[in-house]
A and B are shown apart, each in its own frame.
Chain A
Amino acid sequence: MFRYGRSTVRPFRRSRRDKLALVQTWLDYLPRLWPGLINTLLITLAAFPMAVVLAFVVGILRVWKIPVLGGFLTAYVEFIRATPLVMQLFYIYFALPFIGIEINPLGAAIFTFGIHYGAYLSETVRGAVLSIEKTQWESATVLHFSRFQTAHLIIVPQALRVALPIFTTELIDMFKTTSLAALVGVPELTFLARVEALRTFDVLIVFSLIAMIYFLIAFPATILARQIEKRVVIP
């Protein structure tokens, strides 16, 4: 294997023009990476609402402790939490076509992220619902609310407020994790970056660039989430 010896040529100092040229190279890559960012955001924005709905349904049904269904839901949550996301993604994309369910890469990614984060968030919802006082359920029963009405008119709005900080954390986490969709060939940011990097061999520039894009979205979002958390949290 080729090894780098000690270089005999001293690296020359970059002139101002060279620096500008470097910036130009960075900018040249951006238009090629934009479609990837759009796909990344698309996956996030499609999968997250799915995860939230799933989380509330599963979370509340698990609180109700319905005999058989409850067991199934617990198994679903535990299973998702004990196996890797990549495994689930590959299972849905590669294995399910063999039993007649075929999904395109983007659909498989959205579906996987939805059910994966749904399981995690359902634990949050369950915790939030359990944290709401029992008297709320009881007084609703006294007022002749049905169980379903109590859940969606009284419990969910309160639980949402308790769970919101974790929801935002998970949303940011999901945004980062969508990069794994590259493994099944969804042309999102990381996938396109790899294609560009292997095409031009400007590995440093391309990978730094996408690391920066991810960071510039995730980091401000984290700070914003912390601010929201301060306002919403129930003391």
Chain B
Amino acid sequence: MLERLYDHLIDLLPATFTTVVVTLLSFALATVIGIVLAAMRLSRFRPVRLFAMVYTELFRNTPLLVQVFFIFYVVPSYAPIADLSPLTVGCLALGLYFGAYLGETFRGGLLGVDKRQWEAGRVLQLSNVTIFTRIVLPQAFRSVIPAWGNILVGSFKATAVLSIITLNELMFQARILGSLTFRYFEIFTVATALYFAIGYPTIRAINWLERRLSLETTTGVTEFQVDRRAIELAGR
């Protein structure tokens, strides 16, 4: 019995690796999109602000699965790119979806940075871009790290959705193995244990980080923390 569980574990490990890779890739994409969206929301130009707002509401108010289907089925049949691999679709879908949530998080973080930081930067004759990237963003980043980590866990868990577009990640592999051997119970137990073995330590690490950072937080964090609950809910 134990030997068989060990065999299942070995069979599932490569797929677990794929899950982790997809998580990290999509999370990197989501972070970039999030920063861009947050910057756009603070823009002086109305159309730019409006675009970011529409994007955020659109992606936050439709299910992830629908977005995955949209990118998987609709984009290749209308865009000049003929075949998107499941891996590309998966990373893209998760990146776009969590980007919208991270945009809100980062916006809260940016608003939390004292306005005088901008003014001081201008006095020192720094360009707006320099002030944003070198002064405001690093400070904002610090206050959003806990929420950022929660989104990381969210995107890790959301990769399981991608099994429906035949991306060979942990959930998909478990289902394939299950249908081949008909040992669903054992295989799914091992797969669940694998998810737990990655997800739980990550959650603990984030909680630890949150406690460490909360001792030294400064301005604007309270306002942002109200918002954080909503972000925690992202991505199941």
A in complex with B: yes
Interface positions of A (Cβ within 8 A of B): 1-4, 6, 78-79, 81-87, 90-91, 94-99, 116, 120, 166, 169-170, 173, 176-180, 182-183, 190, 193-194, 197, 201, 203-204, 207-208, 210-211, 214-215, 218-219, 222
* Contact indicator B66/A211 (Cβ below 8 Å): yes
A219 touches B184 (CB 8 A): no
In chain B between 43 and 72, which residues have their CB closer than 8 angstroms to a CB of chain A? Answer: 57-58, 61-67, 69-70
Distance in angstroms from A211 CB to nearest chain B CB is 5
| Complex Cα–Cα for A170 and B191 (A) | 27
Interface segment out of the listed B27-35, B76-84, B115-123: B76-84
Complex contacts, A222 vs chain B, CB 8 Å: 61
Residues in B neighbouring A204, C-beta threshold 8 A? 74, 77-78
Q: Is the CB of A120 within 8 A of B192?
A: no
Check A87–B195 contact: CB distance below 8 A: yes
Interface residue B230 (Cβ < 8 Å from any Cβ of A) = yes
For the complex, give the distance between the alpha carbons of A20 and B204 in Å: 56
> Within the complex, what minimum Cβ distance (angstroms) separates A180 from chain B?
6
B196 touches A82 (CB 8 A): yes
Contacting residue for B61 out of A4, A86, A190, A214, CB 8 A: A214
* Pair count A-B, CB < 8 A: 135
Q: Please, which residues of chain B bring their CB within 8 A of the CB of A208?
A: 70, 74
Report if B229 contacts A (CB, 8 A).
Answer: yes
How many angstroms between the C-alpha atoms of A116 and B175 in the bound complex? 21
11 A–B contacts, CB within 8 A, in A order: A1-B82, A84-B159, A84-B236, A90-B175, A95-B184, A96-B185, A179-B66, A180-B63, A211-B62, A214-B63, A218-B61
Q: How far is the CB of A1 from chain B (nearest CB, A)?
A: 5
Complexed CA–CA distance, A109 and B22 (Å): 26
B163 within 8 A of A: yes
A83 touches B171 (CB 8 A): no
Closest approach, in angstroms, between the C-beta of B170 and any C-beta of chain A? 8
Known contacts A190-B63, A207-B70, A214-B63; decide if A94 and B178 are in contact (CB<8 Å).
yes
Q: How far is the CA of A207 from the CA of B69 in the complex (A)?
A: 8
Asked if B229 contacts A4 (CB within 8 A), the reply is: no
Residues of B within 8 A of A214 (CB): 61-63, 66
Give CA–CA (A106, B96) in the complex, Å.
30
The reply to whether B65 and A190 contact each other, CB–CB distance below 8 Å, is: yes
Q: Which 5 A-B pairs have the closest CB atoms?
A: A82-B199, A84-B160, A86-B160, A179-B63, A84-B157
Interface mask (B153-170 → A, CB under 8 Å = 1, otherwise 0): 100111111011000000
A83 and B66 in contact (CB under 8 A), knowing A4-B82, A177-B236, A214-B61? no
B42 adjacent to chain A (CB < 8 Å)? no
